[in-house]
Each structure stands twice: as C-alpha cells, then as structure tokens.
Amino acid sequence: MSVGIVGYGVYIPRFRIKVEEIARVWGHDAASYREGLGIEEKSVPSLDEDTTTIAVEASRNAMKRAVEVKPQDVGAVFVGSESHPYAVKPTASTVAEVLGLTPNLTAVDMEFACKAATTAVQACLGLVKAGYIGYGISVGADTAQGAPGDALEYTAAAGGAAYVIGSGDGVIAEVECTQSFTQDVPDFWRRDGASYPKHAGRFTGGPAYFEHVVSCTKALLEKMGTTPKDYDYVVFHQPNSKFPLKAAKILGFEEDKLKPGLLVNLLGNTYSGSSLMGLAAVLDIARPGERILLTSYGSGAGSDSFSIRVRDAIDSKRELAPPVMYYLERREYIDYSTYARYRRLFKER
Amino acid sequence: MKREVAIISVGATRFGEHWDKGIKDLAWEAGVKAVEEAGISGRDIQYIVFGNMSGGMFEGQEHVGALVADFLGLNPVPAARVEAACASGSVAFFHGYMAVASGMYDLVAVGGVEKMTDVESSRATEILAAAMDYEWEAYFGNTFPGVYALMATRYMHEYGLKPETLAKVAVKNHHHGSMNPMAHFRNRITVEDVLSSPVVAYPLRRNDCCPVSDGAACVILAPLEEARKYTDTPIKVEAVAQASDTLSLLERRDICTLDATVQAAEKAFAKAKLTRKDVDLVEVHDCFTIAEILALEDLGFCPKGEAQKLYEEGETYVGGKLPVNTDGGLKAGGHAVGATGVKQIIEIVKQLRGEAENGRQVDGAEVGLAHNVGGSGATAVVTILSRR
C-alpha cells in the first residue's frame, strides 16, 4: 500500500518587517545581515495570532485539498512547534476541535526544535500504513522567538504548513521512503521559563545543521539507491539562505532544484513550518511523476529525510486552496515599534 | 649560556574550529606528534612547559601544565603553564630554551594550547581584552580591534598608509594559507573582498582581523651537540629574546612602534651574531593587518613608514625579497592564542628543513625569524632559528 500526502495547506501572517528596519533600531549594518543571512524581510504575526491560529488556518487549507477525507476518518492530529501557546494544554486538541474532527481521534503536541512536524509526518505515515487510522494531520507552525538585538531576530518568523497523510487514489505525493538521523548536540535551546532561545553561534553550522542534514540525506539516498540526479526538487530546512544553498552544494544538488522551495529570503525562518512550507511551494508547481527530496533539521539535533514522488491527483487538488505565493505576496510592512507591539516586546498597561 | 639548543621535532594540530576537541585532546595530539617525530619515548621528556592564555575564562580550566602532563601520560614529570597573553607560546619556548641551555634538562617539550570556540565571539573578545591594561583600556569598553585600529589610524596619518595596502597583507596571508593544509582558512581573497567586508573598528574590516581558533603546537628541545641522535635535520636556536613594554597604549612613546619588538629584535640579532640580511623568511604576529606592517619595521627590516612599499611591490610573498608568514600567518593560518608562538616556530622549522608544501617553500632557507606579540605589544618575543 502506498501512503503519502492527500492534502496540504499553509498559512503566513500578513505583516512583514524588513532587515533594514531591524538594523536601523539596533544600529547594525543591514547589508552584512542581508548578505550574511541571505534574507530581505520576515513575516510577523499580528496581536491575535499565535501557533494555534496559524495551525488552524494551515490545517483548514490542507483539508480543502483533501476533498475525499471525511472528518470522522481523521484519526490523529499532531502539531509540531516550539512556540505552543501553553506549556501544559495541547495546541493539537484545539486544532482538532476547530476542524470538527473530535472526539474519536488522538492528538498531541510535538517539540523537536524546527523538525517536530516532519517527525509528526513520519508518525502519521506509520499509523496509516499499519491501518490504525485512515488519515492523520501533521502541522508545523511557529511564532518563532528571537531575542531583541540577537542575530536570530532578523529571521525568527511566523507561519505554518499542514499535511493530511493517507492512502488511496487521493494521494497527491507518495512518500517512497523516510530516514532519520539524530544525535545529542547542544546547538540551540530554550530552557523552561526562558522567553528566548540561546544558540551556540558558529557551532550551529558545521557540527549541527550540516552534519545532520547532509548525513541524513546521504543515508536516505543510500537506502533508496538514488542520487541527486534522480530528484527534480530538493527542500531543506531553511534557517537562512546560506545554509540550504551550501547543503545542496555539498550533496551535489543543482541550485535550480533548491530555488523553488527556498522561501526564507522573503519569509524568514518559520521554525517548525520551515521545511514543510518549502515543500508546499514545490507541490504548488510540481508535475505528476516528479520527485522531491525533503530534509528537515531540528536543533538538539536531528533530521528527517523523505523521498517523495508526485502523483496524478495533484492536478485536481492544487487549486482547491491558496498557494504559498498567495500568502507570500499578501504583505503589509510594519515598522519596528509596531513589530515590538505585535511581538509583545513591551507590556501594555 | 652553557649550551647551544636545538629543536629536534615538531607536532601540531590544524588550527581552526575543533568542535569535537577540548584542551586536553588538542595538547595530546600536538604532544604525541612531536614525541613520535623525535623517535623518543614520552618517558624521556624531563620537563614540560606549555603556553596557554586563558583556559580559565575560555573553558573554566586552569592548572594547564599538569593537565597536559597528565593527559600525555607523563606523570610525574614536572610541568608548568606559562601565560603572556598571545605571546604565551613563545614565552613558554623561552622558558624551555633556558631549561636546556642552562644544563638543567636535556629533553624538554615546549608547547602551547588554546581552546577558544566554546564561547561566543563577543565573549572571546572580552576574554582577549583581559590582556590589555584592564583599568585604562578594557574597562572603558575598548577591545583589541579597537586598540589596533587606533594604531592604524595614527599610522595612516603619519605615513600615508591606505586601506588598500592593509588589505594586501590579508590577501598575501590567505594566498600562503591556501597552500597550507594546517591553516584555519584556505580560501584565497582579493583586495576587494577585504575592502567590502564589514568594518570592525575603522580602518580594520573583518578581513583585516585574524580569527579565533582552537589549536595546539609542540616542539621538543635538546642540546645541539646531542641533537643528531634524534634527527638528521636539527634546527639550531640561534637566539630567543623577550622584552616588555607598557600594557596600555596611552603610555607608549609612539603608538606606531612596538618598543618591546624593537628591544627583543636587537637582543636576538646581537646574540645570534646575524644581520637582517641573513634572514630568509619571517613569521610575524599579524593579529591585525596593521600589526604585520608595524612588525617588519620594528624588527628592523625597513625604516618606519616604509613597510607599505614591500606590500605595494609584492615582496612579502614566497619568492619575494622577504617572505612573510608563509603559513598564512595568524590571519589565514589561525590564532589559537596560547599556541600561536609555537606554531610560528614550527613553520620556521619546516621551512628550514625544506618540508613546506609546494608553492610556499622558500628555496634554500637557512635562517628564519619568528616574532610573537602579547596584547598590543606589552610582551614581544623574537626567536631566530637556523639550520647551520
């Protein structure tokens, strides 16, 4: 039985702040951040948006494409995030309730820095394949935190992507194989009660992101007996533009295969949503028969790789929900003071 | 001095980001390589002296002398850690040299080690600033890029130095580093790359500044008369001389001159009975590009204000009149502060043995000089080596 994606959807908040505006406030050299990170602007959630609302919007869009799925056939909702509004009380149950999927399903929040949602996809694939559930929904959503003035503030963005996983003729993209790679690596963390994550500077590169993304992708290729040439698109976790471009180069993927799913320069890093948002942008344009390689990365540290083959059903479902570009182009620029209010950098009254 | 001293073997780690290695691993690797090259047993070593600037602040680890002896499995050999900021390695070399020259010990392991990348770069800058006069300089927020920027702007004012010329120092060092497998950076850069990199402290840009590196280096010293028991190519220590100056820049006679370098060079050349013309290559302390310009003048290779000409004319490349920093220097070779002085000495040894990689070997090199600075010049050590 082949299993895979039967529906996908994304959501990106409307507001944007430019690198120049953040740099202006902190007295930083905007050009060096723009070039160093390969980023122009990032999305900002409004006052009334959080991981739950973003996850709901993205899941609704995913369900719009999953036309054959009846609410009672969804057996699981998993929400991967590192900015769940509650430390205790799940985001996933709210999402399930709003979507009208309750009560006969399981739901849980997941956390593994930026890769929790791809792990949730793996969990859904397993449950579907084993026959425990008909369909499962995996969501990656974040209102990412970056301490004011820290390099992270230039990229920490908001957005989410949701995937309905199932089987049958409605599969628009079959997951041929998945592979993971995990080690205990302290490159980026946020302790309980802390408002902002900390990171280990340059250590987040070589021994963290690249070690895991490259090793995991290689392991998948080896397991599949495929090479970069066998894929039409490649998507990596994108904390900035530089990292995925370099990973593609190391692994031997042409830049043209990476570009369609590389959104970080205009979106920022949506953390748990990052690589799955990139995959959605590729699904927005991919043709039946094309192959996509996806590798996520989560600090702490691990990667999940997927070999995906696009199927015929994509053509009939693509137009049923807004594409990534719709949300990327729907933007309104704000200045740092408005940003500070929306991100609650200072308290009201 | 009772005896002449020779370097019988060398060993070093690559300088760079060693995420998987700590102080102990780095020192062990350099030490074992040096012992193996000498063909001796570690048990033959009678004294260990290692340079280390700030294991305490970088890693929370002091007591580095005994740590090195312990991790090399050489207990109960006496071991000491020497600290003189970025000159810790060459001051350790000076102590090892004295131990052999005086007749106290016959086989001495001299090294340096620094683990710098476990802290963020802002913290590393703070730790390094402890090598300034803290009350007069660091306390008010100055940093080493700031201090060297003051020297550079004064020098530009006095002698008409242009940022383009400073950039040529970095370009040359990256060119040499690209041929050195032990270098931190092996990429070649252009003057444009330097001039378009972000300003750190005017006129110094990112590519005018050396990196922070992890690394260790070790050499083994023996009496010259016994050196051929261990190697066919002993390198004679012609002279080691050290001098001190004020820690703070504001108390200097002239901020475009490192008097400690001038003094150490005079003493070293007098002891070696050699002239500047006898020197085939130099390793100088280019923590910032301006430092390399100052060093060539203070060492006496050209009058004050004129080192820039050597860069305009490309004479500091291998093949030029005076090859400078043939391993890439601190800029491209890397700067593991406590190990740098010993790494420079190892580069001279390799050149004198004719073992440097293709393209960066100075043909027929007989005499080489290493120059290591602590802070902005409060400590300077000049070492002259020969294959005579």
The pLDDT tens digits for B23-45 are 999 999 999 999 999 999 999 99
Write b or e for each residue in B266-283: b if 16 or more Cβ atoms lie within 10 A of its Cβ, otherwise e.
Answer: ebbbeebebeeeebbbbb
Query: How much of chain B, in percent, has pLDDT values that exceed 70?
Result: 100
Is the pLDDT at B305 greater than 80? The verdict is yes
- Whether A82 is catalytic: yes
Question: All domains of chain B, ordered by start, with CATH?
Answer: 5-120+213-234 (3.40.47.10), 141-210+237-386 (3.40.47.10)
DSSP state of A298: B
**Confidence bin at A347 (pLDDT 50/70/90):** confident
pLDDT of A348 reads: 74
Q: Across chain A, what does the average pLDDT equal? A: 96
A150 by Cβ neighbours in 10 Å (0-12 / 13-18 / 19+) ranks as middle
- Express each pLDDT in A146-163 by its tens digit: 999 999 999 999 999 999
Q: Which of B4, B86, B92 is nearest to B48 (CA)?
A: B92
How are strands ordered across the β-sheet holding B281-283?
A: B79-82, B47-51, B108-114, B215-223, B5-12, B235-244, B379-386, B367-374, B281-283
Write b or e for each residue in A43-63: b if 16 or more Cβ atoms lie within 10 A of its Cβ, otherwise e.
Answer: bbbeeebbbbbbbbbbbbbbb
Please state, in angstroms and rounded to a whole number, the distance separating the CA atoms of residues B369 and B298. Answer: 13
**Confidence bin at A346 (pLDDT 50/70/90):** confident
Backbone phi, psi, residue B216, to 5°: -145, 155
B-chain residues near A201 (CB < 8 A): 120-121
Query: Which listed CATH number (3.40.47.10, 3.40.50.620, 3.30.930.10, 3.40.10.10) goes with A173-310?
Result: 3.40.47.10
Mean pLDDT for the stretch of residues A90-108: 98
DSSP state of A209: I
Contacts of B261 (CB under 8 A, 6+ apart): B243, B294, B295, B298, B299, B371, B373, B377, B380, B382
Q: Which of B86, B210, B256, B287 is catalytic?
A: B86
Please state, in angstroms and rounded to a whole number, the distance separating the CA atoms of residues A42 and A158. Answer: 8
CB B40 within 8 A of CB B107: yes
**Confidence bin at A293 (pLDDT 50/70/90):** very high
**Confidence bin at A1 (pLDDT 50/70/90):** confident
Q: How many CB atoms lie within 10 A of CB A322?
A: 17
Q: How many CB atoms lie within 10 A of CB B144?
A: 26
Q: Which of A65, A88, A57 is nearest to A4 (CA)?
A: A65
A29 with B199: Cβ contact below 8 A? yes
Taking the CA atoms of residue B280, residue B283, residue B284 and residue B286 in that order, the dihedral angle to the nearest 10 degrees is 130
pLDDT of B9 reads: 98
pLDDT of B366 reads: 98
pLDDT of A341 reads: 94
ipTM: 0.71
pLDDT of B376 reads: 97
pLDDT of B1 reads: 52
Please state, in angstroms and rounded to a whole number, the distance separating the CA atoms of residues B193 and B219. Answer: 36
Q: Which residues of B touch A (CB under 8 A)?
A: 17, 19-20, 117, 120-121, 198-199
The tokens describing B330, both together, are 């601190």
Secondary structure (3-state) at A296? coil
Is the pLDDT at B310 greater than 60? The verdict is yes
Is the pLDDT at A123 greater than 80? The verdict is yes
Please say whether the dihedral angle defined by the alpha carbons of residues B32, B33, B39 and B40, taken in this order, is positive or negative. negative
**Confidence bin at B54 (pLDDT 50/70/90):** very high
3-state secondary structure B73-95: CCCCCCEEEECECECHHHHHHHH
Please state, in angstroms and rounded to a whole number, the distance separating the CA atoms of residues A19 and A39. Answer: 7
Please state, in angstroms and rounded to a whole number, the distance separating the CA atoms of residues B55 and A46. Answer: 47
Q: Which of A178, A174, A177 is nearest to A310 (CA)?
A: A174
Please state, in angstroms and rounded to a whole number, the distance separating the CA atoms of residues B219 and B235. Answer: 11
> Which architecture characterizes domain A3-172+314-342 according to CATH?
3-Layer(aba) Sandwich (3.40)
Question: Treating both helix axes as pointing N-terminal to C-terminal, what angle do A91-98 and A51-65 enclose, rounded to 10 degrees?
Answer: 40
A202 with B198: Cβ contact below 8 A? no
Kindly report the CA angle at A204 between A200 and A207, in degrees rounded to 5?
115
**Confidence bin at A201 (pLDDT 50/70/90):** confident
CB B34 within 8 A of CB B109: yes
Q: Do domains A3-172+314-342 and A173-310 have the same CATH topology?
A: yes
B117 with A29: Cβ contact below 8 A? no
The larger pLDDT score, comparing residue A59 to residue A346, is at A59
Q: Give the count of alpha carbons within 13 A of A320, CB side only.
A: 21
Secondary structure (3-state) at A289? coil
Contacts of A38 (CB under 8 A, 6+ apart): A240, A241, A242, A245, A264, A265
- Express each pLDDT in B198-233 by its tens digit: 999 999 999 999 999 999 999 999 999 999 999 999
B19 with A201: Cβ contact below 8 A? no
Backbone phi, psi, residue B345, to 5°: -65, -40
pLDDT of A200 reads: 87
Is the pLDDT at A109 greater than 60? The verdict is yes
3-state secondary structure chain B: CCCCEEEEEEEECCCECCCCCCHHHHHHHHHHHHHHHHCCCHHHCCEEEEECCCHHHHHCCCCHHHHHHHHCCCCCCCEEEECECECHHHHHHHHHHHHHHCCCCCCEEEEEEECCCCCCHHHHHHHHHHHCCCCCCHHHCCCHHHHHHHHHHHHHHHHCCCHHHHHHHHHHHHHHHCCCCCCCCCCCCCHHHHHCCCEEECCEEHHHECCCCEEEEEEEEEEHHHHHHCCCCCEEEEEEEEEECCCCHHHCCCCCCCHHHHHHHHHHHHHHCCCHHHCCEEECCCCEHHHHHHHHHHCCCCCCCCHHHHHHCCCCCCCCCCCECCCCHHHHHCCCHHHHHHHHHHHHHHHHHCCCCCCCCCCCCCEEEEEEEECCCCEEEEEEEECC
Is the pLDDT at B280 greater than 90? The verdict is yes
Identity at B73, one-letter amino acid code: G
Please state, in angstroms and rounded to a whole number, the distance separating the CA atoms of residues B378 and B87. Answer: 10
Identity at B369, one-letter amino acid code: L
B-chain residues near A206 (CB < 8 A): 17, 19
A32 with B20: Cβ contact below 8 A? no
Residue of B nearest to A33 (CA): B198
Is the pLDDT at B388 greater than 80? The verdict is no
The alpha carbon of B304 is separated from its chain's Cα centroid by a whole number of angstroms, namely 22
Instruction: Say what the pTM is.
Output: 0.85
- Express each pLDDT in B130-161 by its tens digit: 999 999 999 999 999 999 999 999 999 999 99
- Whether B86 is catalytic: yes
Domains of chain A, by residue range, sit at: 3-172+314-342, 173-310
Q: Which of A114, A153, A199, A216 is catalytic?
A: A114
CB B324 within 8 A of CB B318: no
Could you say which of A29, A201, A202 has the minimum Cβ distance to residue B198?
A: A29
Residue of B nearest to A30 (CA): B198
Mean pLDDT for the stretch of residues B153-171: 98
Contacts of B298 (CB under 8 A, 6+ apart): B257, B258, B259, B261, B262, B265
**Confidence bin at A167 (pLDDT 50/70/90):** very high
Q: Which of B383, B385, B379 is nearest to B365 (CA)?
A: B385
**Confidence bin at B387 (pLDDT 50/70/90):** very high
DSSP state of A172: S
CB A54 within 8 A of CB A270: no
Is the pLDDT at B68 greater than 70? The verdict is yes
Contacts of A326 (CB under 8 A, 6+ apart): none
Q: Which of A41, A82, A153, A211 is catalytic?
A: A82
DSSP state of A333: E
Q: Across chain B, what does the average pLDDT equal? A: 97
Could you say which of B19, B198, B199 has the minimum Cβ distance to residue A203?
A: B19
Residue A195 Cα, gap to closest chain B Cα (Å) = 20
pLDDT of B115 reads: 98
Say if strands A173-185 and A158-167 run parallel, antiparallel, or are unpaired. unpaired
3-state secondary structure A30-47: HHHHHHHHCCCEEEECCC
The tokens describing A107, both together, are 């739901």
B-chain residues near A203 (CB < 8 A): 19, 117
Backbone phi, psi, residue A179, to 5°: -150, 140
